[in-house]
Structure 1
C-alpha cells in the first residue's frame, strides 16, 4: 500500500556525469531538508552491494528509494525527485500516458549515450577523474611577440 508520507526520498546519482550533476544542482537548490537526500555513487562511502545492486547497475539508470524502502528507477526516479524538491510541475510531462513511451525511449537512449558525454563541462568545474587520476587539458601558450609580428606582415 502507498505510504502517504514517502519522504525522504534518497536519490542515488552519478556525480561525475556533467548533465546529471547539473540536474542535481537544481534539485539541491530547491529541496527542503528531510524531503530529498542525495548520494553520489562515486563517494567513498557508497556501497552498491549493501543495497543489493552492482555498481554498474546503479550507474546504468537513476535510482531513488523512498523512506518505506520502495525503489523507483529511470523516469520514475526523475519524476519523484523533482516532486520531492517541489518542482513536480516541471516533471509532470513524465506522467502523461501519450508521451510516456517516447520519453522512456529517450531516457534509455540517454542512458546509453551518457558515458560518452563526459567531455561536457561539469557544473562545478571538475574534470572527469578515473582511477584517482584526473585528465587536465594542456594549457595553450600565449603567442610571443615574434609570432604576432609574423602574422601581421604582408
Structure 2
C-alpha cells in the first residue's frame, strides 16, 4: 500500500493477551517519544472493533489506522508501526515490491503459528508461561 503523507498518529490495534505481541508493544512504548503511535488492545472487552470488522478479524492479523482513517493491515501495519517509532530502517524490505509476495506469505504463516509460539514465551514482566487455547493467548499462572 502506497502512503505518501501519513497523517500521524497511527493507531495500532494489538492482542494484549499475546506474549509475543506484548514484547513488541513494550518496545514501541519505549521508543514512542514523538507520540506518533497510539496503542489499543483489541482484546479488551471495552474496545470496539473497527467498522465492518469483528474482533476475530482484528485478532487474526495486525490492523492500524492513520489519523485520516486510512487502514493498513498485515505487513503494512508492521512497516508503519516501526516507522512511527523511528525504526523504519529495520523493516524496509517489507516495502520492496518484488519481495512483497514472500513477506505476505511469511506474515500469514506467522499469524497461523502465533498461538503455538506464544505458549513458550512468558508474558513480559512476569515469570509466568503463557497458555494458548486455539487462537487466543492468556497469561499462565505465576510459579511459587
**TM bracket, shorter-chain basis:** 0.7 to 0.9
Judge conservation of contact 1:129–1:135 (CA < 8 Å) in 2: no
Quote the Cα distance in structure 2 between the aligned partners of 1:66 and 1:43.
21
Query: Which sections of structure 2, spanning at least 5 residues, go unmatched?
Result: none
For 1:24-54, what per-residue CA distance to the aligned partner results, in whole angstroms no more than 9, with x for missing partners? 1111111134311000112242111x63310
Quote the Cα distance in structure 2 between the aligned partners of 1:5 and 1:129.
35
Aligned to 2:68: 68
Change (3 A) 1:45 1:103: same
Quote the Cα distance in structure 1 between the aligned partners of 2:104 and 2:85.
22
Runs of 4+ in 1 over 3 A off after TM superposition: 126-130
Quote the Cα distance in structure 2 between the aligned partners of 1:123 and 1:105.
28
Query: Which sections of structure 1, spanning at least 5 residues, go unmatched?
Result: 140-154
Q: Return the index of the structure with the highest Cα Rg.
A: 1
Quote the Cα distance in structure 2 between the aligned partners of 1:72 and 1:39.
15
Quote the Cα distance in structure 2 between the aligned partners of 1:134 and 1:103.
29
TM-score when normalising by structure 1: 0.76
Matches within 5 A, 1:36-75: 36-48=37-49, 51-75=51-75
TM-score when normalising by structure 2: 0.81
The Cα RMSD (Å) is 2.5
Aligned to 1:6: 7
Deviation of 1:138 after TM superposition, in Å, equals 6.4
> How many equivalent pairs are there?
136
Pick the structure with more strand per residue. 2
Deviation of 1:99 after TM superposition, in Å, equals 2.3
For 1:120-147, what per-residue CA distance to the aligned partner results, in whole angstroms no more than 9, with x for missing partners? 21222264588xx9642765xxxxxxxx
Judge conservation of contact 2:34–2:85 (CA < 8 Å) in 1: no
